[in-house]
Amino acid sequence: MDRRAAVVGALCGLAGTALVVQTFLPWASSGSLSRTPPVEVVALALDGTLSVVGAGDVVVLLAVPVLGALLLATAAVRLRPVRLLRALAGAVAVALVAVLLVRLAGLDPTRLDAARPGLGAAVGGLAALLVLVGVALDASPGRTARTARTVQES
């Protein structure tokens, strides 16, 4: 395995782990859900105890750690179809983390002073950044590909 593949695998593995871990950390630092991690929010919403969380939010809260587990499971696999699946899962995970940052942590780009991100939001944001870097690095042509093109052209 070359260094680039190892770095991509490490980034996707770390991102996947972070996406699973964020499920057990509170996403808001103040407000009604400030001490409630997503795993408990889902349980309360499914019980009917928490009415402020809709079915769409529950799906997002459940999908993020599942996508994280998928990223973690495929981190070391270099087969092209698996790499494409990992890139798709990563892109969806980044979009869902963005939704959670707005819905749970109150991150409004027009009013950042009102934001109340908690540790879960920070871990989720870091995971999204790691996914983006890993997928971009995996998609970019490596030195070997450039060298092969140079040799073919001469």
Global pTM value: 0.83
Work out the angle between the directed axes of helices 80-103 and 119-139 (0-180°, nearest 10).
150
The pLDDT value given to residue 61: 92
**Distances in whole angstroms, Cα of residue 25 to Cα of each of 80, 123, 138:** 34, 9, 29
Q: Where are the domains of the chain?
A: 3-153
Q: How many CA atoms lie within 13 A of 33 on its CB side?
A: 29
Quickly state the pLDDT bin for 133 (edges 50, 70, 90): very high
Residue with tokens 């959670």: 100
**Distances in whole angstroms, Cα of residue 94 to Cα of each of 65, 87, 99, 125, 151:** 12, 10, 9, 8, 38
Q: CA-CA distance, 3 to 76, in Å (whole number)?
A: 12
pLDDT digits (tens, 9 = 90+) for 24-43: 998 887 777 777 898 998 99
pLDDT digits (tens, 9 = 90+) for 101-130: 888 777 776 676 666 788 999 999 999 999
The pLDDT value given to residue 141: 82
